Amino acid sequence: MSVEDELLKRVDKSKLPRHVAIIMDGNGRWASYRGLLRSAGHSAGVKTLKKILTVAVNINLEALTVYAFSTENWKRPHSEVDFLLHLFSEYLEKEKREMHEKNVQLRFLGRIEEFSAGIQNQIRDATTLMKNNTGVKFNIAANYGGQDEILRAAQKLASKVSIGKISTRDIDAELFESELDTHGLPPVDLLIRTSGDMRISNFLLWQAAYAELWFTNTQWPEFSPEEFVDALNNFANRDRRFGGLGS
């Protein structure tokens, strides 16, 4: 049996989360600790993402959402932002065929319209290529902020009210969700953050309302398929109560 098969055998398939979200943090620190430029950490992080997506495909996960660039990440030095955008574009170009072969459904969350026309075209091409796929729903949050997403949803609903398309009373959780970038996806069951910081950093604020949280000190470039499986198996043993009395 291959190492990969051994690993997949370890996954508790009976209680798999439907939707896993990951805050891929620690690229910069991983690089600095090694005397490398932060950009080297981001490049190494892309390799980790490839491996984790492969596990998600192999275990037939319903949805995987990764935080690639936040609405606050523009505060970083120009050179780092430029590098990240370049890496993002390279990643899409290099990976879209393989993702398509793996039947991945690709979606982007966030203010995509603020990216360059070139990147927007790449995003459009990649999502169009995969639009009829039926496998893992892979969502990349880029120029994404949870508060921004909620505000945009509120604005869309307010304008529907103002033109009389809906009334204020129609606004319930279901209608609100239909205006979020994640519309149609199940809520986040498991939220993973690498690199030791225990915060949400404006990720999926609405969707992670009842997510189980899993933090690890491992920096994203070193996060392995084995540790991903540990997180999944840890999830399988959580007692989720959703405000009730649980099982």
Active site residues: 25, 73
29 binds ligand IPE (CB under 6 A): yes
Instruction: Figure out which of the listed residues 25, 95, 148, 181 binds ligand IPE, where binding follows CB under 6 A.
Output: 25
Instruction: Figure out which of the listed residues 7, 21, 23, 49 binds ligand IPE, where binding follows CB under 6 A.
Output: 23
208 in Cβ contact with 21 (< 8 Å): yes
Spacing of C-alpha 133 from chain mean position:
18
**Binding string, residues 127-166; x marks residues near ligand IPE by CB under 6 A:** ----------------------------------------
199 binds ligand IPE (CB under 6 A): yes
84-113 residues in contact with ligand IPE (CB under 6 A) are: 84
Which one of ligand IPE, Mg ion, none interacts with residue 225, CB within 5 to 8 A by kind?
none
222 binds ligand IPE (CB under 6 A): no
**Complex with ligand IPE: residue 31 or 130, whichever CB lies closer:** 31
Instruction: Figure out which of the listed residues 11, 16, 17, 27 binds ligand IPE, where binding follows CB under 6 A.
Output: 27
Binding span for Mg ion by CB under 5 A among 24-32, 34-42, 61-69, 110-118: 24-32
206 in Cβ contact with 227 (< 8 Å): no
63 binds ligand IPE (CB under 6 A): no
Bridge partners (DSSP) of residue 21 are 65, 191
Distance of alpha carbon 175 from alpha carbon 41, whole angstroms: 40
Residue 86: DSSP 8-state: H
21 binds ligand IPE (CB under 6 A): no
Shortest Å, Cβ 25 to Mg ion: 4
Residue 165: how many other CB atoms lie within 10 Å: 10
Distance of alpha carbon 120 from alpha carbon 228, whole angstroms: 31
Q: Rg (Cα) of the chain, in Å, rounded?
A: 19
Instruction: Figure out which of the listed residues 68, 104, 140, 180 binds ligand IPE, where binding follows CB under 6 A.
Output: 68
Instruction: Figure out which of the listed residues 43, 58, 120, 201 binds ligand IPE, where binding follows CB under 6 A.
Output: 201
Bridge partners (DSSP) of residue 214 are 192
Residue 13: DSSP 8-state: G
Which one of Mg ion, ligand IPE, none interacts with residue 111, CB within 5 to 8 A by kind?
none
**Complex with ligand IPE: residue 7 or 63, whichever CB lies closer:** 63
**Complex with ligand IPE: residue 33 or 210, whichever CB lies closer:** 33
- Write out the E strands in the chain: 19-23, 63-70, 105-109, 137-144, 190-193, 212-215
Which one of ligand IPE, Mg ion, none interacts with residue 29, CB within 5 to 8 A by kind?
ligand IPE
Which residue's structure tokens are 């990649």?
126
Distance of alpha carbon 235 from alpha carbon 189, whole angstroms: 9
What 3-state DSSP class applies to 160?
A: helix
Distance of alpha carbon 125 from alpha carbon 182, whole angstroms: 20
